[in-house]
Amino acid sequence: MVSCAESDKGSKDVNPFFTEFDTPFEVPPFDQIMPEHYIPAFERGMELEKENVEALLSNTEEPTWENTIVPLDNAGLELERVSSVFFSQTSTNTNSELQEIQMEISPRLAAHGDDIALDPRLFEKIKVIYNNRDNFDLTDEESFILENLYMGLIRNGADLPPEKKEKLKELNQEISVLRVGLNNNVLAETNGFKLELTNEEDLTGLPESVIATAAETAKANDLEGWVFTTQKPSMLPFLQYSENRKLRSKLYNAYINRANNNNDYDNKENMGRLFELRAERAGLLGYETHSHLVLEPRMAKEPANVYAFLNRVWEKALPVSKNERDAMQKIIDKEGAGFKLAASDWWYYAEKLRKEKYDLDDSELRPYFELKNVMDGAFTVANKLYGITFTRIEDIPVPHADAVAFEVMEANGDHTGVLYLDFHPRESKRQGAWCGTYRSHRILDGEEITPVVTMVMNFTAPSGDQPSLLSMDEASTLFHEFGHALDALFSETTYGASFIAWDFVELPSQIMEHWVTEPEVLKMYALHYETGELIPDELIEKMKNSSYFNQGFMTVEYLAACYLDMAYSTVAAGVDIDVPEFEADLMNKIGLIPEIISRYRSTYFLHIVGGYDSGYYSYNWAGVLDNDAFDAFSEKGIFDRETAESFRKNILERNGIMDAMEMYVNFRGREPEIDSFLRNKGLL
């Protein structure tokens, strides 16, 4: 077969995806890729994968790992290459053209994937290998991949009769289209709301840095005065400091009602439809609910175990959140304000309570958390733990003009991978923070393919002469995503196939958050952006004393979203879902207090549209793991190299190619214990 690179070299107007990437470290040539390149590249990728799969299916030799699994693993390399770029761009730098392409290509990709996964010839070949696996000299990694590949095919319908396979394909395609639309609607609603202020009196209570950023936002939108949006770096400081209760309520209500405004971007009907389709799909596959289907390969195994975990934490956290509410109500009453605390008031009075109890507020900390210093702090921690270094690369294509790139190297100078960082909000980027890969580690034809990783955030942007100053939460988010990046950079997978237990996936990220506020680490990076002075000991002590502050709220609003996810995922097939009624009934059932709104409401809960469905609980599930694991570092010193090397070898390098609990026990010497998690949240 002639490769794409060979067949298209020399063409005048070449599609970048049809040639080798002639760039540093063979990263995607972002500056050359245009919207019109994607559809042809997707079509070529699907065509090549079909040809490659057909070739291995036509092989009349007895199926083996080498003649079936290996070529299957390599069959879609061209499709992976375009997909990794396209879907990253639709999340970070989308536009109407890309959204139209996404709507067109998503059902085609779903159909293409089903054509391969549901081909009975493929299942029979893999079944032969699986049934005779003891006769093959497989490595531990290969055995793990084979087990998960075989069971994964069954969970995706490979063993269904033909008529049910056709129905499954229909469901998969409709689900794929719904997911695109739901995401696009939330982005449109997020971009569509702007709180425009022209009266200086409406700015009372806001720090100067927040006001300056709002003025720049207004200017960028060709508006007068000051503008606040539902992007969290803009919204949260307003909710924390604005003395105008009506405006706080207006902004917060705009946030919690995104895609719930009975307009062209309303998600209620399609969200309900998505959950109904998933329930029908699970029933077709022989599972009681969607949750039973997706949890089977995870650590939790079944919904009952998730609910047992959630209930245990909820019982501890709900009383704490009520105490926090009562303390804030006392402040309101003491001031003679004459109203009951509302959900939109929480951040404002929590900030007052923190100031009252700990003499600490967010604006006092921000000057010590300049973005560059926090980034350098994360790099320093990784260097002290693992010996790796990060060197800025200037002359390299970047996925957006805002992004920066670094080469990651081992202590001996060996190349580890490339890391992109994209820090600030823009209208073309979805909310939140995440880590992804443009290329994952693997061994291909005996050659090591090194990873290209991207971290995407939505942090407070620079304003005028003032650099980007992060909140404590944003600093933790940077370390969190950096943990995901290290997981991808350190991967030692031999093949493209990787099967990470989704409720284990947050361990590498969440454990990194523990270093953020360690006094030894703060002294490395927390420098005042104007004076260069180290963060003073009294501020560190205040941070330590306030570490349990507002944990009831943060845990309860998070758990409410977990319950919402699980409720939608455990709906039986054939049940019609009225989204507003379903959500309201559930919140009443679990006893959520009215002063707290679920961290995500149904219409903008994009985690469960794709990826974290029946899996949002994973952050706290992994919280048990990361707190217990960090204890191992604390016992020997937070930079103990032996412990770090064990964590890298047993978890970061093996993640996705070994059983999750087995990895953890290999590192810790025992299964995880929950006490550290509850204690560090102030719930024990």
Place of tokens 């396979």: 165
Classify 3 as helix, strand or coil: coil
- CA–CA distance, 491 with 653 (Å, rounded to integer): 4
Classify 392 as helix, strand or coil: strand
- 481 catalytic per annotation: yes
Place of tokens 């604005």: 242
Q: Which residues pair with 437 in a beta bridge?
A: 453
Would you say 43 and 109 are in contact if contact means Cβ atoms under 8 Å apart? no
Nearest to 651 by CA among 631, 671, 666, 634: 666
The amino acid sitting at 317 is: A
The amino acid sitting at 489 is: L
Classify 505 as helix, strand or coil: coil
Alpha helices in 296-386 (DSSP H): 303-334, 346-358, 362-365, 371-386
The phi and psi torsions of 453 (rounded to 5 degrees) equal -115, 145
- CA–CA distance, 662 with 666 (Å, rounded to integer): 6
Would you say 566 and 291 are in contact if contact means Cβ atoms under 8 Å apart? yes
- CA–CA distance, 407 with 413 (Å, rounded to integer): 11
- CA–CA distance, 552 with 543 (Å, rounded to integer): 17
Q: What is the CA angle 671-673-676, rounded to 5?
A: 145
Task: Indicate the Cα dihedral angle 564, 567, 573, 576, nearest 10°.
Answer: -60
DSSP output for 605-632:
-GGGTTT-TTTTTHHHHHHHHHHHHHHH
Alpha helices in 12-61 (DSSP H): 35-58
Q: How far is CA 499 from CA 142, 436, 569, in A?
A: 12, 15, 21
Label the pairing between strands 404-409 and 415-422: antiparallel
Place of tokens 């404590």: 472
Q: What is the CA angle 423-429-432, rounded to 5?
A: 65
Q: What does the chain come to in residues?
A: 684
Would you say 362 and 351 are in contact if contact means Cβ atoms under 8 Å apart? yes
CA atoms 204, 206, 212, 218: torsion sign = negative
Would you say 48 and 33 are in contact if contact means Cβ atoms under 8 Å apart? no
Q: Which of 142, 189, 280, 481 is catalytic?
A: 481
Would you say 471 and 493 are in contact if contact means Cβ atoms under 8 Å apart? no
Label the pairing between strands 226-228 and 452-456: unpaired
DSSP output for 424-470:
S--TTS-SS-EEEEEE--EEETTEEEPPEEEEE--PPPPBTTB--B-
Would you say 186 and 157 are in contact if contact means Cβ atoms under 8 Å apart? no
- CA–CA distance, 406 with 383 (Å, rounded to integer): 14
- CA–CA distance, 538 with 117 (Å, rounded to integer): 59
Kindly provide the b/e burial profile for residues 49-66, where b requires at least 16 CB atoms within 10 angstroms of the residue's own CB.
bbebbeebbeeeeebbbe
Q: What is the CA angle 571-573-574, rounded to 5?
A: 110
Enzyme catalytic residues: 481
